[in-house]
Amino acid sequence: MDKIKTLKTSELPLNSSKVVNLGDKPIALFNYEGEYYALDDICSHAEASLSEGDVYDCKVECPLHGAEFDLKTGDAVTLPATKPVMKYKVNVEDDYIFLEMTQDA
Protein backbone atom coordinates (compact mmCIF):
# COMPACT_ATOMS: atom_id res chain seq x y z
CA MET A 1 0.00 0.00 0.00
CA ASP A 2 1.49 3.32 -1.06
CA LYS A 3 0.61 6.58 0.61
CA ILE A 4 0.74 9.50 -1.74
CA LYS A 5 0.85 13.10 -0.56
CA THR A 6 -1.39 15.37 -2.61
CA LEU A 7 -2.76 18.80 -1.69
CA LYS A 8 -2.68 20.83 1.48
CA THR A 9 -6.12 20.87 3.04
CA SER A 10 -6.16 24.66 2.54
CA GLU A 11 -5.92 24.06 -1.24
CA LEU A 12 -9.22 22.16 -1.22
CA PRO A 13 -11.73 24.39 0.56
CA LEU A 14 -15.09 23.25 1.86
CA ASN A 15 -17.37 21.96 -0.92
CA SER A 16 -14.81 22.17 -3.69
CA SER A 17 -13.05 19.68 -5.93
CA LYS A 18 -9.74 19.51 -7.75
CA VAL A 19 -7.80 17.15 -9.99
CA VAL A 20 -4.42 15.80 -9.02
CA ASN A 21 -2.36 13.84 -11.51
CA LEU A 22 -0.60 10.74 -10.32
CA GLY A 23 1.63 9.95 -13.24
CA ASP A 24 -0.79 9.90 -16.15
CA LYS A 25 -3.78 9.10 -13.91
CA PRO A 26 -6.06 12.03 -13.05
CA ILE A 27 -7.77 11.69 -9.70
CA ALA A 28 -10.59 13.92 -8.51
CA LEU A 29 -10.37 15.06 -4.90
CA PHE A 30 -13.51 16.35 -3.22
CA ASN A 31 -14.09 18.19 0.02
CA TYR A 32 -17.77 17.59 0.60
CA GLU A 33 -19.18 18.95 3.85
CA GLY A 34 -15.71 18.74 5.41
CA GLU A 35 -15.03 15.12 4.43
CA TYR A 36 -12.47 14.24 1.79
CA TYR A 37 -13.12 11.78 -1.03
CA ALA A 38 -11.13 10.65 -4.05
CA LEU A 39 -12.36 9.05 -7.27
CA ASP A 40 -10.90 8.47 -10.71
CA ASP A 41 -11.53 11.76 -12.47
CA ILE A 42 -12.60 10.30 -15.80
CA CYS A 43 -16.23 9.24 -15.94
CA SER A 44 -16.81 5.54 -16.65
CA HIS A 45 -19.28 6.45 -19.43
CA ALA A 46 -17.09 8.65 -21.63
CA GLU A 47 -14.31 11.22 -21.40
CA ALA A 48 -15.62 13.77 -18.93
CA SER A 49 -13.95 15.13 -15.82
CA LEU A 50 -15.92 14.34 -12.67
CA SER A 51 -14.07 17.04 -10.73
CA GLU A 52 -16.02 19.55 -12.85
CA GLY A 53 -19.38 18.10 -11.84
CA ASP A 54 -21.87 19.36 -9.28
CA VAL A 55 -21.76 17.65 -5.90
CA TYR A 56 -24.81 17.06 -3.70
CA ASP A 57 -26.11 14.31 -1.41
CA CYS A 58 -22.58 12.85 -1.31
CA LYS A 59 -22.71 12.24 -5.07
CA VAL A 60 -21.03 13.91 -8.02
CA GLU A 61 -22.97 14.50 -11.21
CA CYS A 62 -20.99 14.04 -14.41
CA PRO A 63 -20.96 17.36 -16.27
CA LEU A 64 -21.38 15.71 -19.68
CA HIS A 65 -24.44 13.43 -19.52
CA GLY A 66 -25.47 13.71 -15.88
CA ALA A 67 -24.70 10.26 -14.45
CA GLU A 68 -24.23 10.39 -10.69
CA PHE A 69 -21.48 8.63 -8.75
CA ASP A 70 -21.42 7.95 -5.02
CA LEU A 71 -18.42 9.74 -3.48
CA LYS A 72 -18.05 7.03 -0.83
CA THR A 73 -18.03 4.01 -3.13
CA GLY A 74 -17.48 5.20 -6.70
CA ASP A 75 -20.66 3.37 -7.73
CA ALA A 76 -22.64 4.71 -10.67
CA VAL A 77 -26.06 5.39 -9.16
CA THR A 78 -27.83 6.81 -12.20
CA LEU A 79 -27.69 6.25 -15.95
CA PRO A 80 -26.17 6.62 -18.45
CA ALA A 81 -23.11 5.35 -16.57
CA THR A 82 -23.39 1.71 -15.52
CA LYS A 83 -19.86 1.00 -14.31
CA PRO A 84 -18.29 2.38 -11.13
CA VAL A 85 -15.21 4.57 -11.06
CA MET A 86 -12.28 3.61 -8.84
CA LYS A 87 -12.41 5.16 -5.40
CA TYR A 88 -9.42 5.73 -3.17
CA LYS A 89 -8.99 5.87 0.56
CA VAL A 90 -8.12 9.34 1.81
CA ASN A 91 -6.33 10.37 5.00
CA VAL A 92 -5.38 13.75 6.36
CA GLU A 93 -2.09 14.09 8.21
CA ASP A 94 -0.30 17.30 9.15
CA ASP A 95 -2.69 19.36 6.99
CA TYR A 96 -1.97 17.31 3.87
CA ILE A 97 -4.36 15.02 2.01
CA PHE A 98 -2.93 11.56 1.37
CA LEU A 99 -4.24 8.91 -0.99
CA GLU A 100 -3.79 5.26 -0.17
CA MET A 101 -3.10 3.34 -3.35
CA THR A 102 -3.25 -0.44 -3.45
CA GLN A 103 -0.90 -2.29 -5.80
CA ASP A 104 -3.53 -2.65 -8.49
CA ALA A 105 -4.86 0.92 -8.26
User: Which residues, at least 6 apart from 49, have a Cβ–Cβ distance to it below 8 Å?
Assistant: 19, 26, 28, 41, 42, 43, 63
Count of residues that interact with ligand FES, criterion CB under 6 A? 10
Tell whether residue 77 is a contact of ligand FES (CB under 6 A): no
- State yes or no: residue 81 binds ligand FES (CB under 6 A): yes
Residue 80 C-beta: closest distance to ligand FES, Å: 5
The answer to whether residue 26 forms part of the interface with ligand FES (CB under 6 A) is no
Is beta strand 16-22 parallel, antiparallel or unpaired with respect to 54-56? Answer: unpaired
Among 38, 43, 60, 99, interactor with ligand FES by CB under 6 A = 43
User: Which amino acid does the sequence have at 72?
Assistant: K
- When binding is defined by CB under 6 A, the residue of 7, 11, 26, 80 that contacts ligand FES is 80
Give the burial class of 98: count Cβ atoms within 10 A of its Cβ; 0-12 exposed, 13-18 middle, 19 or more buried: buried
The only residue of 60, 67, 85, 97 in contact with ligand FES, by rule CB under 6 A: 67
